Structure 1
Amino acid sequence: MAEDEVAELFCCSICEDLMLAPTTLVCCGRSFCKECLHLWIKTNAQQGGIPRCPGGCMAKVPFRLPKHSIALRKAMEQLVPDRLACRIKEAEEEEEEMPCFGGFKAWTEIAASRDILYGSSIIVRQGSPGIVVGNCDDGCHLTVKFDEREDGSELCVNVVPEALMLPLPGGFRLHQRVVALYELLLNSDMKVPLGSVGHIIGSLGGDRVTVLFEPKQEKIPEYPVSVNIREVAAQRPLVGGFSIAQRVQASMSLVVGNKVVVHAGCRGTVLAEFSDTRLTVVFETSEAAPNCFNVLPLEILPWCDTPPEFPAGTSVRAVHHLMSPCAIIVHAGTRGIILGGVDPSLVFVSFENGPAVAAAISALETDTDAVGETACLGGSLESGREEPETCLERSETMAPEAGSSDLSSIDPEASDEEAPDSTTEAGSGFACAVSTPINSARATVVLNTD
């Protein structure tokens, strides 16, 4: 095949020349010069339209183009090296594009530094991210494509440079609600506790943002605080519906190797989201230091104070059968010990010769006949019942990143108590309410250990 014929295979249909920084559009799979696509987008956007694919498929062209194709570039370097070298030299000799007004550059990320109005209506909220398309023909405005417009339009907006700013580090936005991932010590008398909520009010450059925390406690400052972007996270529900700093309790005995390291009912605090399926929780164990574990949402329940009529440690009986959708989990009259509260209508109960479950208060009554029976936090009843071993594989003990938190992981080998034998008889599986969310439509899950 002649060199001219090979070169035609790498021809951009916009400039009809050899492609520079070949960029492939996902809509039709055709490739073009990246700068040709930028010019195509800018021309269509400034004419008041929505850029469509120059290949003819009529799909919308993204303003944020994908990276150029390394495979196509290497193929051209191998097959048409001389033509490619001439093409690159010609491009370098062309005049560079003039910088945009206000010192911005075309195709760079920006954010709105204030609300942008059209007449008396707000069309872009302060902090909304976007991308600079280029200078407007009027000589004073910039054409910007914002990710969101209040009126739902997909058209670009012509704004003055003063209405724009560089984006905040870490992908944060102005006025975004965030939560503290660590206990932030400001001075000897002032600190921001783990889980404190605030909103971002600005940037200090580099990797720091300014946050105004909500002063729910006396020691939280009422002035903005400079924090590292790794010390806060966007406020959102974590996996399982839990949240940072939420008080929880183990819904089953947690085992590392053949040792019980956390008993059912042991209280803890959610530190972070470890992965898409696990949470990092620090438990209040009897060890000298707290233990951090990466647990599944099924392995913890929310914790709250128990109602006055059913304090923790109270002996109770089941008024009626406690059932899952297809089986009786706890028979009426079964005795148990309250380990803690789950919500205003639920308590976590360790039942005799059976599972520990989250039970409705209305399904329980005080066991006035119980004498001398107590239960340690998450432990077995003194009647000799063994805690069932969790059938879920434990992840490695892991602590959060060192720095702002004084919490650390404990070697699981420090636990001296052996895990119960996994060959417990059938029927002694664990049951608990689904941890997220707990409401009147809650379900019950049974895990058998056989």
Structure 2
Amino acid sequence: MKRLFLEFFIGVVTFFFLCIVSYVYYTEVYTPDYELEVEVRHVHGAMRLLDEIAEVQGQKRADEMFADYASNNLLSVTPISWDSPTLSPEIVNEIKNHGAVSFDDEYSYYVVYGNLKQIYLLAPDLSFSIWEKLDFESDLLWAFVCTGFAIYCILMMACLARRFRALERVTLAFADGDFSVRASEKAGMRLGRLNSSFNQMADKISGLITSHKQLTNAVAHELRTPVFRVQCQLEMMEDSGLTEEQHRYVAGITDDMAELEQLIEELLYFAKLERSAIPLNLSTRLVSDWLRKLVSDCQRDTDKHIELECDTRVVACLDEYQLKRAVSNIIRNAFRYAEQRIDVQVSCDEQRLTIQIDDDGIGIPEQERARILEPFYRVGTARDRASGGHGLGLAIVSQIVARHQGRLEIGESDTGGARFTLTLPTEPSDELLTAETTAL
């Protein structure tokens, strides 16, 4: 954002000064200096008067009047001979024809009068402070113009920055999953049609996502009834004198239906988490109490060794049920990929609780670590459907950590396997408490 406004400011300032330079160049090269021409005509008129005075009253009287003219106009007089090397032939001709020619500097002229024996250079007498004041006023004018332009640019940039920041906040909130936010379309907050275009896009995306969630939720609900009927019929078939081969088929179907029922349960739970239908039940407890029991329960379901390292004094305010589910999902996910062991380490400081879960399996490719948190996404390696699961476990973990305003990071363990790090606040923030109160 800062770079954008800096580029805008530099571009506008450069364009402004290019316009000024172009104007000065055009007036200097392609158009006459009418102001200077008027001043030269004034001086020329004065010299013609001195010519008449010299003719009527003599050269001496004309010289006295010329000295008075120069003194009254705060000009210095420098005599120059006609053959002076500083005078080009063109200037000499101009002086002979017009009696007064402007010099390079403003208020400076070559003049002749009377007997035309001497050329005089009239130039500002710098002993008078008025010339410095004139220069100061000219510089002051430019200073006011540049300062005014800079202030205007800064105010415009501040106004645009305020509008861009407001739109940026809405965009980030929308990207974080708050699909209800919309950009303000008030006159003082609009950026052309950008705000309304963003709102139209947000409405369409929100509608699509809501429709998708409703469809997923409805399908999961509707599947429960036929799954239950199939399970009942399978139980009845087992009691109806089946052959050994038929029993094997029925057992396989039963296992598949159990897996389908688990998938439906995970779908419904994930859908509830997405729409915040499950409020956080925050309570302050010793982390080691529920974590040791969780690890013990998980150990009974695997032959891989699970090592827990947790200080018995660690206390945090969390939703124990949801966090147990998140940690359990990661540990059980590690069952399928760990070679021999799974390590769970817990550390805590004044503000953050960190739960780190490592396995010694094949690990997760770096380019896949962000995507495995998406629902049903699977890495195209040995971590595929053949290893079991439905692809919702880590998505649920991500939702639970986000609900706690925590952070989930995926990396590589010291043994080359996967490392999942959950970083959670030990105390709920005011925003989290407000959100949960509103949900209730």
> What interval of TM-score do these two structures reach, taking the shorter chain for normalisation?
under 0.3
Q: TM-score, normalised by structure 2?
A: 0.20
Which structure: greater strand fraction?
1
